[in-house]
Amino acid sequence: MKTETMLTITSIEALDARVADVVRFKINHTQAVAAKEAETAAVEKRHQARIAKLLEEIAAGEDEIARYCLAHRAELFDEKKSRETTLAVFGFEFTPPRVETASRRLKWADVVTRLLRLPWGKAYLNRPEPKPDKNALLADREKLTMEQQTAAGIQFCQDEQFFLRPKPETAAESSEVTA
């Protein structure tokens, strides 16, 4: 809030008039925001079917390409895990590492109990309500031995997934065409 040395409101009547002005501005602002949100919703609704159809086509196309690449992996990806065309880069990549319980029967509460019993385990718990600090575990995944992981009831996992990314220049060219 700005404080000025010179007051521009000099009477109760002027104060009431200024309050009325600010209330009117607030009402107009609320109406303007509501109108903008209504227009945004209308635009999203107008484009929703086309976007959904495109997403279905993308998913079907990527699935078909991924199945082909998987079936012909040895010949397509003999040196690298990805291929490059003039339009895109595609192939296989690892997902970011994640920490999981060592088995489906083991619950995170069991991991907490195990970590509390281990001399080094408290460093991997969040407080006040003890729960596993997955970020700390992930940060130390190279340091933790298999024996330590087994004792804590955890494992580090990474999956491989297919990807297809248009090259940036392809996206720029296609936006020029559709503009």
For the segment 3-44, what is each residue's pLDDT rounded down to a tens digit?
556 778 999 999 999 999 999 999 999 999 999 999 999 999
Verify that 25 and 104 share a domain, yes or no: no
At 135 the pLDDT is 96
- Name the band, by pLDDT with cuts 50, 70 and 90, for residue 128: confident
Q: What's the average model confidence in pLDDT over 93-122? A: 95
Count: domains in the chain: 3
The answer as to whether 111 is a domain residue is: yes
The answer as to whether 4 is a domain residue is: no
The answer as to whether 126 is a domain residue is: yes
Verify that 67 and 77 share a domain, yes or no: no
DSSP string, the chain: ----SS-S--SHHHHHHHHHHHHHHHHHHHHHHHHHHHHHHHHHHHHHHHHHHHHHHHHHHHHHHHHHHHHTHHHHSSS-SEEE-SSEEEEEEEPPPEEEESSTT--HHHHHHHHHHSTTGGGGEETTTTEE-HHHHHHTTTTS-HHHHHHHTEEEE--EEEEEEE-HHHHHHHHHHH-
Verify that 165 and 89 share a domain, yes or no: yes
The answer as to whether 77 is a domain residue is: yes
| Mean pLDDT value across the chain | 92
At 122 the pLDDT is 93
Verify that 86 and 103 share a domain, yes or no: no
Verify that 78 and 54 share a domain, yes or no: no
Tell which wins on pLDDT, 97 or 79: 97
Verify that 153 and 165 share a domain, yes or no: no
Q: What's the average model confidence in pLDDT over 124-150? A: 94
Q: Is the pLDDT of residue 172 over 80?
A: no
The answer as to whether 125 is a domain residue is: yes
Verify that 14 and 59 share a domain, yes or no: yes
Q: Is the pLDDT of residue 45 over 90?
A: yes
* Lowest-pLDDT range of 19-28, 54-63, 103-112, 165-174: 165-174
Verify that 138 and 111 share a domain, yes or no: yes
Q: Domain range for residue 102?
A: 98-158
At 104 the pLDDT is 93
Verify that 80 and 50 share a domain, yes or no: no
The answer as to whether 5 is a domain residue is: no
At 6 the pLDDT is 76
Verify that 22 and 44 share a domain, yes or no: yes
Choose one of 71, 86, 115: the last residue of a domain.
Answer: 71
Verify that 120 and 170 share a domain, yes or no: no
At 39 the pLDDT is 97
pTM: 0.65
At 171 the pLDDT is 66
- Name the band, by pLDDT with cuts 50, 70 and 90, for residue 2: low
Q: Is the pLDDT of residue 64 over 80?
A: yes
Verify that 83 and 47 share a domain, yes or no: no
